Structure 1
Amino acid sequence: MPLVPTAELIDRARGTGRGVAAFNVITLEHAEAVARGAQAAGAAAVLQVSENAVRFHGGELAPLAAAIAEVARGAQAELSLHLDHVVSAGLLHRAAEAGFSSVMFDASKLPYAENVAATAAAVRWGHAHGVWVEAELGRVGGKAGDAPLDAHAPGVRTDPVEAAAYVAETGVDALAVAVGSTHAMVERTAALDHELIARLRESVPVPLVLHGSSGVPDAEIARAVAAGMVKINVGTALNTAFTGAVREYLAAHPAAVDPRTYLAPAREAVAGTVERFLRVVAGA
């Protein structure tokens, strides 16, 4: 099936009051699992690659992007390609030629004025090259290299008034907001601020994005979508399923040396996780 622009998936979901799940891809097995999970759920999904994943692959974007795109084209589900948490202008400027229809440009660690300036420049470039641009305001935290962050600490969450001004000043197409989740959570214990989500939805004219959804219980995700969240990012939950399956296989087969024997159950575990998240996000 042809690749679908991320903007199309987001607009369609927003128009029906549902969400779209976006899954972080590190290996080919991740991409295959997302495609299988989406097919099983009968739902569209976003395949996203972070700058950290590109760095893991030696800084080479094109080979990974080409492989993921081929997986997506062979899937019986609507899939888009998204470049996630980009901080480097150099990587941003490689997005379009690598086949990504959307980018999340992350200047959230900068002071507000610098964040606005950097993001506005990224948006100008993106729109000139047909790329949909997401940005972040607030502090979701939890990524590798981040200082420890309490998602409930004062000043961490996104302010609706500031968010409205930020969107107007930058021209972004979607906004990732801090509402109680953090990246890299391995336990699903996050409690979201649903009142804040509703206020942000009323204040911000563009789709809202929830990062750190791996640590959010299913019921909380469903409530967040109902309150106005549209793009739901999932990464750590896939890696937890993947690594857990590998550990289980190798514990039962300590003499195994062929990676296919343990990557197969890992891929299936990720596919099952993808299907479950998609059913929750789509309201099934």
Structure 2
Amino acid sequence: MLTPTGEIVADARRRGVGVGAFNVITVEHAEAIVTGAEAAGCAVVLQISENAVRFHHGRLGPIAAAARSVAQLAGVPVGLHLDHVESDELFDQAAGNGFGSAMYDASRLGFADNVAATAAAAARGHACGLWVESELGEVGGKDGAHAPGVRTDPGEAAAYVAATGVDALAVAVGSSHAMTERVARLDQVLIRDLRDAVAVPLVLHGSSGVPDDELRAAVRNGVVKINIGTALNVAFTEAIRATVSADAALVDPRKYLRVARRDMAEAVTRALRVVALEQPGGGVTGLTYGTTPEKIPAPTDSAA
């Protein structure tokens, strides 16, 4: 069922668990994410990034309509989120296309300009009923725009949230977009300090490169929304590669997309069980990528 992202995040925060937010590029992504969430019995967020919109010829409407339809038919609560939006024009299309939330990304700007741009976007978003996320303390790896090693300062974060009025804050605590290995070590002390400094939920971007134990600790220490993209694309691509390689005569895309969608759904289920703090063992748990759980190939586009 289509559910406002803010409600999903607030419920998870009350219960002390995390919410998985997964990047949607194709309709198969949306279907796989919801199938995986239903198998886990967890609410989930479908995210469409500005990069994904650019892939769809700059048209938000078609992919948003597909994701929204999948969400409406789901057996678990599903939020629809427009992610990493730098374009004011695109941000202002969110509510009209059924999104309950959007992340306005002005992190390329200096602090004062980021505050001004984000405050204006948050005001417009709130007027349309959007739950608004933003970013302070650049998260590494996003097309080279964010410097690795940057960390969010708790005092600056408190001032930023107060000045902008955002509903959630993406923070830099050691993760990075599009990581090729699951070796990120998060600053758990900083996460706790940020949780104590700001009143809004914390968001972790670049979670595909974070090991399960670090993700669980981050949730326990105050992260609520966990963004994952690369892990799904790896599962999807490896399934297609294996299926096509096994049958040189195969031309029906349904035959390999069905397998890819299934494997992606399983990756979603595993990830949701981690951020929901389910105990390992007795089921499918933990993020895995193909046959080498701690190593993934370099992606061809930016993703969480």
Class of the TM-score when normalised by the shorter of the 2 chains: over 0.9
Q: Indicate the residue corresponding to 1:232 in structure 2.
A: 226
Distance 2:190 2:42 in 1: 28
SS where residue 21 of structure 1 aligns? Answer: strand
Shift of 1:251: 1.5
- Segments of 5+ residues of structure 1 without an aligned counterpart are none
Distance (whole Å) between structure 2 residues aligned to residue 217 and residue 229 of structure 1? 15
Task: Report the counterpart of residue 247 of structure 2 in structure 1.
Answer: 253
Letter in 1 for 2:144: D
Map 1:258-277; keep pairs closer than 5 Å: 258-277=252-271
Read off the aligned partner of 2:54 and give its amino acid letter: R
Q: 1:25-104 alignment to 2 at 5 Å?
A: 25-104=24-103
RMSD: 1.0
Partner of 1:158 in structure 2? 152
Match of 2:182 in 1: 188
Return the match for 2:202 from 205, 208, 212.
208
SS of 1:169's partner is helix
Q: Provide closer, same or farther for how the CA distance between residues 126 and 148 of structure 1 changes in structure 2, counting only shifts above 3 A.
A: closer
Aligned equivalents of 1:70 and 1:266: distance in 2?
Answer: 20
Partner of 2:128: 129
User: Using the alignment, how far apart are the partners of 1:116 and 1:50 within structure 2?
Assistant: 21
Measured after TM superposition, the shift of residue 141 of structure 1 is 2.4
For the residue of structure 2 that corresponds to 1:238, the secondary structure is helix
Structure 2 distance, partners of 1:116, 1:179, is 20
CA-CA distance at 1:254 after TM superposition: 2.2
Give the Cα separation in 1 of the matches to 2:139 and 2:235. Answer: 23
Q: Distance in 1 between matches of 2:192 and 2:220?
A: 9
Amino acid at match of 1:6: T
Q: Structure 2 vs 1, CA of residues 119 and 147 (structure 1 numbering), >3 Å: closer, same or farther?
A: closer
Map of 2:144 onto structure 1: 146
Matched, 1:111 2:106: no
SS at match of 2:158: helix
Q: Counterparts of 2:138 and 2:198 in 1: how far apart (Å)? A: 17
Structure 1 Cα separation of the partners of residues 105 and 250 of structure 2:
41
Mapped to 2, the partners of 1:42 and 1:66 lie a distance apart of 24
- Runs of 4+ with >6 A deviation: none
**For the Cα contact (< 8 Å) 1:18–1:282, is it kept in 2?**
yes
- Residue 233 of structure 1 deviates from its aligned partner by 0.3
Structure 2: runs of 5+ lacking an equivalent? 279-304
Q: TM-score, normalised by structure 2?
A: 0.90
Q: Percent same amino acid among aligned pairs?
A: 63
1:167 to 151, 161, 168: 161
Partners of 1:148 and 1:109 lie apart in 2 by 8
**Partner SS, residue 67 of structure 1:** helix
Cα deviation for residue 147 of structure 1 reads 4.9
Distance 2:215 2:72 in 1: 28
Residue-by-residue CA offset, 1:7-43 (whole Å, 9 max, x unaligned) = 0001111111111110000000000000100000000
Contact 1:186 1:237 in 2 (8 A): no
Q: Could you list the per-position Cα deviations for residues 183-240 of structure 1 after superposition, in whole angstroms to 9, with x for gaps in the alignment?
A: 0013211100000000000001100000000000111100000000000000111101
Aligned residue for 1:119, secondary structure, equals helix
TM-score w.r.t. the length of structure 1 is: 0.96
